């Protein structure tokens, strides 16, 4: 009993509560998962709108060219999209592993194993073939419980020690790639007038609206007032969807920028007890992310 009690006391003194850095890494993982998902949605939104524009082009040219669905092409080539999917998968994998390491799961898993170990010890001392031997050595059920608690505390302390010692260096190692990935994805989202997904979304919506106007002008003599009204309402909705889509892409772009800055603050904070800069950045990032989830779920293309 003396040894177990001493072990327990040592472990308690060493401290096995989760370090602030590990908690920060876990919180960042949640934000990184959301950013990867939002960016995937950004590509999907532009692809869907481009597909709609291509379908409308085929319909508009049907009388001259006939039905040719094979002419409908995605905006991104398979090779370009695969590279993006791979990098976003890498970002998600990073977040997932970070969430496991920084989360409660390792501790919960260890508790389960320690509990199984305690049960084995109890079985051995109570009813097993060497129970009599243990009892003759004055090993009681209380001792076994204490030993189990000590093993559990020791395991928890070992896990905590390992992750708080090794995680800061790994976060620093990851900082360069994260900064680069976010910058490249931000560039992909681009600018509504100049380049990238935002420009393509704007152009595809402008084309959709132009085709709608042409259709109304060409056929207004043959359509009822209510049909014309319905088509004009569709046109107004396209303009709303275009504005909402661009706002969402801009917010995704801002979230990627914030993700890189937040990761840099996380890597910089190391094992510091307090990290106010990281905390503020993470809070903003989480807030942006929640708004984005709302945007993407409301968009017609999703």
Least separation in angstroms between CB 167 and another protein: 7
What phi, psi does 19 have (nearest 5°)? -70, 155
Structural tokens at position 143? 């001792």
Do residues 298 and 244 lie in contact, with contact meaning Cβ atoms separated by under 8 Å?
A: yes
**Can you tell me whether residue 73 is helix, strand or coil?**
coil
- What span, in angstroms and rounded, lies between the C-alpha atoms of 264 and 251? 20
23 touching another protein, by CB under 8 A: no
CA–CA distances in Å: residue 28 to residues 16, 95, 159, 211, 231: 22, 8, 20, 45, 46
Residue 73 or 298 with smaller CB distance to another protein = 73
Q: Which residue has the tokens 């989760």?
A: 18
What phi, psi does 53 have (nearest 5°)? -65, -40
| Cα angle, residue 161 at apex, residues 157 and 166 outer, rounded to 5° | 155
Residue 237 or 298 with smaller CB distance to another protein = 237
Residues paired with residue 191 on neighbouring β-strands, in sequence order: 195
Residue 222 or 274 with smaller CB distance to another protein = 222
Do residues 158 and 150 lie in contact, with contact meaning Cβ atoms separated by under 8 Å?
A: no
Q: Which residue has the tokens 């291509």?
A: 54
Least separation in angstroms between CB 282 and another protein: 19
Least separation in angstroms between CB 211 and another protein: 8
Q: Which residue has the tokens 């190391």?
A: 270
7 touching another protein, by CB under 8 A: no
Residue 165 or 298 with smaller CB distance to another protein = 165
Residue 195 or 287 with smaller CB distance to another protein = 195
92 touching another protein, by CB under 8 A: no
Judged by CB under 8 A, the residue of 194, 222, 224, 274 near another protein is 194
Judged by CB under 8 A, the residue of 113, 135, 271, 290 near another protein is 113
250 touching another protein, by CB under 8 A: no
173 touching another protein, by CB under 8 A: yes
Judged by CB under 8 A, the residue of 7, 18, 44, 57 near another protein is 57
293 touching another protein, by CB under 8 A: no
- What span, in angstroms and rounded, lies between the C-alpha atoms of 147 and 150? 5
Judged by CB under 8 A, the residue of 15, 90, 141, 294 near another protein is 90
261 touching another protein, by CB under 8 A: no
128 touching another protein, by CB under 8 A: yes
Least separation in angstroms between CB 213 and another protein: 6
Q: Which residue has the tokens 């481009």?
A: 50
Judged by CB under 8 A, the residue of 70, 78, 129, 224 near another protein is 129
- What span, in angstroms and rounded, lies between the C-alpha atoms of 296 and 302? 7
**Can you tell me whether residue 61 is helix, strand or coil?**
coil
Judged by CB under 8 A, the residue of 98, 266, 267, 292 near another protein is 98
């Amino acid at each position: 009993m003396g040894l177990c009690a001493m072990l327990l006391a040592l472990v308690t003194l060493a401290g096995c509560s989760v370090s602030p850095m590990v908690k920060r890494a876990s919180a960042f993982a949640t934000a990184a998962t959301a950013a990867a998902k939002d960016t995937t949605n950004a590509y999907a939104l532009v692809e869907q709108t481009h597909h709609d524009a291509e379908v409308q082009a085929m319909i508009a040219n049907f009388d001259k060219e006939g039905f040719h669905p094979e002419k409908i092409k995605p905006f991104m080539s398979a090779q370009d999209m695969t590279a993006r999917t791979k990098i976003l998968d890498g970002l998600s994998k990073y977040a997932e592993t970070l969430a496991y390491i920084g989360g409660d799961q390792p501790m919960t898993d260890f508790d389960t194993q320690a509990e199984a170990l305690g049960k084995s010890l109890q079985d051995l001392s109570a009813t097993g073939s060497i129970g009599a031997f243990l009892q003759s050595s004055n090993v009681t059920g209380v001792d076994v419980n204490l030993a189990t608690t000590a093993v559990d505390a020791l395991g928890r302390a070992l896990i905590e020690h390992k992750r708080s010692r090794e995680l800061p260096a790994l976060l620093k190692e990851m900082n360069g790639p994260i900064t680069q990935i976010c910058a490249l994805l931000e560039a992909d989202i681009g600018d509504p007038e100049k380049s990238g997904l935002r420009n393509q979304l704007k152009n595809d919506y402008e084309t959709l609206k132009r085709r709608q106007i042409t259709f109304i002008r060409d056929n207004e003599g043959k359509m009822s007032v209510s049909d014309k009204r319905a088509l004009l309402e569709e046109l107004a909705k396209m303009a709303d969807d275009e504005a909402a889509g661009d706002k969402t892409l801009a917010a995704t772009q801002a979230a990627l920028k914030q993700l890189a800055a937040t990761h840099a603050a996380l890597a910089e904070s190391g094992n510091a007890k307090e990290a106010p800069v990281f905390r503020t950045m993470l809070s903003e990032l989480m807030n942006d992310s929640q708004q984005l989830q709302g945007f993407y779920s409301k968009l017609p293309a999703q």
